[in-house]
Amino acid sequence: MRISVIGCGYLGAVHAAAMASQGHDVIGIDVDPVRLGALREGRVPFHEPGLEQLLSEGMSAGRLRFSTEIADAATAQVHFVAVNTPQRLGGDEADLGYVEAALRSLAPHLAPGALVVGKSTVPVGTARRLAPLLAGRAELVWNPEFLREGHAIDDTLRPDRLVYGVGDEPESAERARVLLDEVYAPQLATGVPRIVADRETAELVKVSANAFLALKISFINAVADVCAATGADVNLLADAIGHDARIGRRFLGAGLGFGGGCLPKDIRAFGARAAELGEDAIGSLLREADRINLGRRHRAVELLRTALSSQPGAATSVDGGGDLRGRRIAVLGLAFKPDSDDIRDSPALSVATELALLGAEVVAHDPHAVPKVRIARPELTCVDTADEAVVGADAVLVLTEWREYRELDPAALAATTPARLVLDARNCLDPAAWRAAGWDYRGLGRHEQPVGALVA
């Protein structure tokens, strides 16, 4: 099938390469010539495991090409709109300017019988409102994406489910279903569940899924604070309640909270849209989840200051916390999550920045995000290895749970820094192993004493 993908950022580039790998003839359209120049050369302007290989294979086979000209999409039977929907400047609402511009640009070039498929995350009611922009030339449906950064290819080729949000007219809706079934034939052949719904339900499926994940993460982080105050172990607690099939263990990892270019802005936009509809209960719930989440970043800084103030001869600031001025702090992790170089709304980068503002000498490492951080935060010192960051540090902060950090040898690192203070903001290290190697281990949301210590 001939397919176009409008917008070749993270979502669009992944979708275009994945569709080409399934045998479709795909053209990716984007207005950014620099981005397209990189893609044409087989270079991905962001980190996503396996994408460069998939991209190169598609272009070598002649099934994938890129253009800045929207007219080049004219022969496609199905057009996927995968442009960004950022948070509106000065508000919580989603900015739909890119979606509207894409539909307006595409409309004059639509062939008879074409199908336009929205992939971008949008507020409920968007498809119904924007359908007239196509001037009756094509049906507009919504097919939300459920990608996890670092696993986007697998999530596209082997998704948990496919959701089609179709229009009200039965004949057009059935035709849209048939076309999308042809696009996703390999997925459907393996038994991937397909849900055909109205457009509003499809739009809400995506934002509701993100909202639920955000609530789950903020819930366990709120519980973690109670654990820290009483000596309970939040990881064991999460294991125990995670065995309940109604709850599950995933996304119950207490720590620094969520970030990135999707979850934070999506829950804010969901709350804003609900308020517009006069239904603010979900908005209140999500605002509290957002508040808890953002508070984790400052709590990590305060945990560090408390740990530093407890050291012999440590200087304290006027509020009694450890004075960070002149302290060398090793920061391990800057991306918002492992297997990504995305620093948008990154909790790790937020903590590193706050430490620098408080006078700390921040020396940071990340396996993939450093080039972006050097542009966005030039005041931070970034180095090429974790070992280099740790040498001589007054404290080590693990802020992103990259595998290479989880596998660090605490005994070997202990020889490089006399302070031997580690703050595990992602609860991804083995506390017993680090303490056995002579480290003062502190976990975010964990009591500072080992499991089994008496609580007064």
DSSP string, 8-71: -SHHHHHHHHHHHHTT-EEEEE-S-HHHHHHHHTT--SS--TTHHHHHHHHHHTTSEEEES-GG
Alpha-carbon gap, residue 229 to 127, rounded angstroms: 48
pLDDT confidence tier of residue 454, bands split at 50, 70 and 90:
very low
Maximum Cα interatomic distance, the chain, rounded to a whole number of Å: 78
Q: Judge whether 146 is annotated as a binding position.
A: yes
The residues, ordered by sequence, that sit 6+ positions from 163 with a Cβ below 8 Å of its Cβ are 143, 144, 194, 195, 197, 202, 205, 206
Residue ranges matching CATH 3.40.50.720 in the chain: 2-192, 197-456
Percent of the chain with pLDDT over 90: 93
Alpha-carbon gap, residue 445 to 295, rounded angstroms: 12
Q: Judge whether 66 is annotated as a binding position.
A: no
pLDDT confidence tier of residue 331, bands split at 50, 70 and 90:
very high
Q: Judge whether 271 is annotated as a binding position.
A: no
pLDDT, residue 317, reads 57
pLDDT, residue 450, reads 45
Q: Is the pLDDT of residue 346 over 50?
A: yes
Q: Judge whether 119 is annotated as a binding position.
A: no
227 is catalytic: no
3-state helix, strand, coil in the chain (%, to 5): 45, 15, 40
**Can you read off the two tokens belonging to residue 342?**
């995305």
pLDDT, residue 35, reads 95
Please answer whether residues 11 and 192 qualify as being in contact, where contact means their C-beta atoms are separated by less than 8 angstroms.
Answer: no
Label the pairing between strands 395-398 and 361-365: unpaired
The residues, ordered by sequence, that sit 6+ positions from 18 with a Cβ below 8 Å of its Cβ are 54, 153, 156, 157
**Lowest-pLDDT range of 18-32, 78-92, 310-324:** 310-324
pLDDT, residue 313, reads 57
Give the residue-averaged pLDDT of 314-343.
85
8, 227, 262, 382: the active-site residue: 262
Give the residue-averaged pLDDT of 120-139.
95
Alpha-carbon gap, residue 229 to 149, rounded angstroms: 34
0.75 exceeded by pTM: yes
Instruction: List, in sequence order, every residue forming a beta bridge with 140; answer none if it has no partner.
Output: 116
Q: Judge whether 215 is annotated as a binding position.
A: no
Q: Is the pLDDT of residue 353 over 80?
A: yes
Q: What are phi and psi of 383, to 5 degrees?
A: -125, 170
Alpha-carbon gap, residue 142 to 140, rounded angstroms: 7
Average pLDDT value over all residues in the chain? 94
**Residue of 320 and 361 predicted with greater confidence:** 361
Q: Judge whether 336 is annotated as a binding position.
A: no
Q: Is the pLDDT of residue 453 over 90?
A: no
pLDDT, residue 445, reads 82
Alpha-carbon gap, residue 66 to 51, rounded angstroms: 15
Q: Which of 112, 155, 116, 183 lies closest to 11 in space, CA to CA? A: 155
Alpha-carbon gap, residue 354 to 372, rounded angstroms: 18
Give the residue-averaged pLDDT of 56-82.
97
pLDDT, residue 152, reads 96
The residues, ordered by sequence, that sit 6+ positions from 221 with a Cβ below 8 Å of its Cβ are 254, 255, 257, 292, 293, 296, 445
Q: Judge whether 219 is annotated as a binding position.
A: no
pLDDT, residue 65, reads 97
Q: Is the pLDDT of residue 58 over 90?
A: yes
Collapse the DSSP code of 197 into the 3-class scheme (helix H, G, I; strand E, B; otherwise coil) and give the result. Answer: strand
pLDDT confidence tier of residue 63, bands split at 50, 70 and 90:
very high
Q: Is the pLDDT of residue 314 over 60?
A: no
pLDDT, residue 311, reads 73
pLDDT, residue 6, reads 98
Give the residue-averaged pLDDT of 375-391.
96
For the domain with range 197-456, which CATH number is right: 3.40.190.290, 3.40.50.2000, 3.40.50.720, 3.40.630.40?
3.40.50.720
Q: What is the per-residue DSSP string for 352-419?
A: HHHHHHTT-EEEEE-TTTHHHHHHH-TTSEE-S-HHHHHTT-SEEEE-S--HHHHT--HHHHHTT-SS
pLDDT confidence tier of residue 319, bands split at 50, 70 and 90:
low
- 2-192, CATH topology level: Rossmann fold (3.40.50)
**408-426 burial: b if 16+ Cβ within 10 Å, else e:** bebeebbebbebbbbbbbb
| Axis crossing angle, helix 347-357 with helix 281-309, rounded to the nearest 10 | 50
Alpha-carbon gap, residue 236 to 445, rounded angstroms: 12
Alpha-carbon gap, residue 447 to 455, rounded angstroms: 10
Q: What is the per-residue DSSP string for 233-270?
A: -HHHHHHHHHTSTTT-STT---SS---SSSHHHHHHHH
**Per-residue pLDDT tens over the stretch 398-447:** 999 999 999 999 999 999 999 999 999 999 999 999 999 999 999 988 76
Q: Judge whether 150 is annotated as a binding position.
A: no
**Can you read off the two tokens belonging to residue 227?**
């654990």
Give the residue-averaged pLDDT of 336-362.
97
pLDDT, residue 315, reads 58
Q: Judge whether 216 is annotated as a binding position.
A: no
